[in-house]
Amino acid sequence: MTLSALIFDVDGTLAETEEAHRHAFILAFSQVGLNWNWPPSLYRKLLKVSGGRERILAYDPDASPELVAALHRRKTEIYTDMVDSGRVTLRPGVEALIAEARAAGVRLAIASTTSRANVVALLGHRGAWFEVIACGEDTTRKKPDPQVYSLVLGKLGLPAADCLALEDSSNGVRAACAAGVAVVVSESMYTTGDDFSGALAVFPNFNGVSLERLRQLHP
């Protein structure tokens, strides 16, 4: 099959963002007077739930819609400030792989459940590299539901067989596979050792993973 497009997840795939998100959540909690502590062990469990608002509700199902919205809004502001200060960078190999794909005419897209503000903050001028950017606000169902991938495929005007997804989580793998998109994994700090059944390959990161290697893997 022709490999016409690479579809990237964001958090944990393009950048090791989840630890920054965790710290931003904790600071947002304290600023509104909540004594909620999300240590790494708990946050890894909460990451099984896609979407920041959804994680808050998974932690406290009784939280009001107003509280959830306020917490998520403040957390996003804190996170984007962290990104703007240079505390979050692209993971090893990502920028080189993207440059190689662009030079070869392979189209690029984003399929993420994170908010658009988070994606825009992380990418900055690099957002122009991606023809399609689908975020949490663009869907009603989060990964592992395939909705975000179906949306991206529709906007690209490509069949699933011509695309390859790059993910870091089991939810992401399940979403891509359910949409018929082949997927490779770059494990992140919070997903190492997870069940990536269905992925074509699992890498520690994309350092040294070339476009030609991805073409060889692509069915």
Active-site residue, selected from the candidate residues 9, 145, 168, 194: 9
The model's pLDDT over 37-68, given as tens digits with 9 standing for 90+, comes to 999 999 999 999 988 999 999 999 999 999 99
Q: What would the mean pLDDT of 100-105 be, rounded to a whole number?
A: 98
The model's pLDDT over 175-189, given as tens digits with 9 standing for 90+, comes to 999 999 999 999 999
Q: What would the mean pLDDT of 106-125 be, rounded to a whole number?
A: 93
Alpha helices in the chain (DSSP H): 18-31, 40-46, 52-59, 65-84, 94-103, 116-123, 147-156, 170-178, 211-217
Report d(CA 25, CA 217) in Å as an integer.
37
pLDDT for 216: 97
What kind and span of H or E run contains 133?
strand 132-134
Active-site residue, selected from the candidate residues 11, 145, 168, 194: 11
pLDDT for 127: 95
Based on the residue annotation, tell me whether 84 is a catalytic residue of this protein. Answer: no
Based on the residue annotation, tell me whether 138 is a catalytic residue of this protein. Answer: no
By DSSP bridging, strand 163-167 and strand 182-186 are parallel
Report d(CA 58, CA 45) in Å as an integer.
10
pLDDT for 94: 97
Answer yes or no: are the C-beta atoms of 114 and 135 closer than 8 Å: yes
What contacts 18, CB < 8 A, 6 or more positions away?
A: 11, 12, 43, 47, 188, 189, 190
The model's pLDDT over 74-96, given as tens digits with 9 standing for 90+, comes to 999 999 999 999 889 999 999 99
Report d(CA 83, CA 95) in Å as an integer.
17
User: pLDDT at residue 156 above 90?
Assistant: yes
Token representation of residue 36: 């909620």
pTM (two decimals):
0.90
Confidence of residue 208 (pLDDT cuts 50, 70, 90): very high
Confidence of residue 151 (pLDDT cuts 50, 70, 90): very high
User: pLDDT at residue 13 above 90?
Assistant: yes
For residue 91, give the DSSP letter.
P
Q: What would the mean pLDDT of 166-173 be, rounded to a whole number?
A: 97
User: pLDDT at residue 1 above 90?
Assistant: no
